[in-house]
């Protein structure tokens, strides 16, 4: 009975989900602030982190992703401010993003805090699709667009013990790569993250 309920839940969830959109990294524990800038409050003194991934090295158009994040802390009033930078490339597409964020924590008990963050930045998409097949009408036009983005994050945490967060780091304000007949669709992605130290 339990197995049937679990399978039904998985089928319902998978029916409403979409495939991975941007290239992502898998080391969220080392670079939490790119997913949820409020996580910077757990390192109030400041921090600089860089992570990258290259696949199929030596092949033209191989996927590459670089993420960078850095922030400074303002311990006197429990806040942080910083930057997130991302660059990814896959075949003829390149996406570059840069955003600044500010995060503030509020103590809700003797050992627990709630952190809130806001971020704003710019995203640039460069798709050189005419290089693929100039004779194919679907690939005649290149895409070069710039768009503004904003985001937010909420984090419940106890320093050195656990954290649970919800964020929307990239709420696109325009229609980057999206037209009425476009084959691209940048959807807003919400992230639920959690971690604990035992």
- In tens, the pLDDT along 8-61 reads 555 555 445 554 455 455 556 667 888 899 999 998 889 998 888 888 888 888
- Mean pLDDT, all residues of the chain: 80
The pLDDT assigned to 3 comes to 57
Least confident of 112-116, 120-124, 127-131: 127-131
The pLDDT assigned to 20 comes to 46
CATH number of 32-196: 2.40.160
| Average pLDDT estimate for 94-113 | 94
Distance CA 104, CA 38 (A): 8
DSSP assignment of 31-47, as one string? -GGGT-GGGGGGSTTEE
pLDDT band at 80 (very low <50, low <70, confident <90, very high): very high
The pLDDT assigned to 9 comes to 54
The pLDDT assigned to 55 comes to 82
What pLDDT digit, counting tens, does each position of 137-176 carry?
766 677 788 888 899 999 999 988 999 999 998 886 665 5
Evaluate if residue 117 carries a pLDDT over 90: yes
The pLDDT assigned to 174 comes to 63
């Amino acid at each position: 009975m339990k197995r049937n309920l679990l399978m039904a839940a998985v089928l319902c969830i998978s029916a409403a989900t979409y495939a991975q959109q941007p290239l992502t990294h898998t080391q969220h524990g080392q670079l939490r602030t790119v997913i949820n800038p409020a996580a910077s409050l757990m390192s109030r003194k400041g921090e600089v982190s860089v992570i990258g991934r290259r696949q199929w090295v030596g092949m033209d158009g191989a996927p590459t992703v670089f993420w960078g994040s850095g922030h400074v802390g303002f311990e006197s009033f429990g806040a942080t401010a910083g930057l997130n930078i991302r660059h990814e490339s896959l075949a003829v597409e390149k996406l570059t993003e840069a955003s600044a964020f500010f995060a503030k924590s509020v103590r809700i008990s003797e050992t627990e805090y709630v952190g809130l963050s806001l971020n704003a930045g710019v995203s640039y998409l460069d798709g050189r699709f005419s290089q693929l097949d100039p004779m194919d009408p679907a690939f005649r036009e290149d895409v070069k667009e710039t768009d503004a983005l904003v985001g937010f994050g909420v984090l419940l945490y106890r320093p050195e013990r656990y954290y649970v967060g919800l964020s929307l780091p990239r709420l696109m304000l325009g229609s980057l790569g999206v037209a009425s007949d476009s084959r691209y669709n940048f959807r807003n992605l919400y992230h639920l993250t959690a971690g604990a130290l035992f």
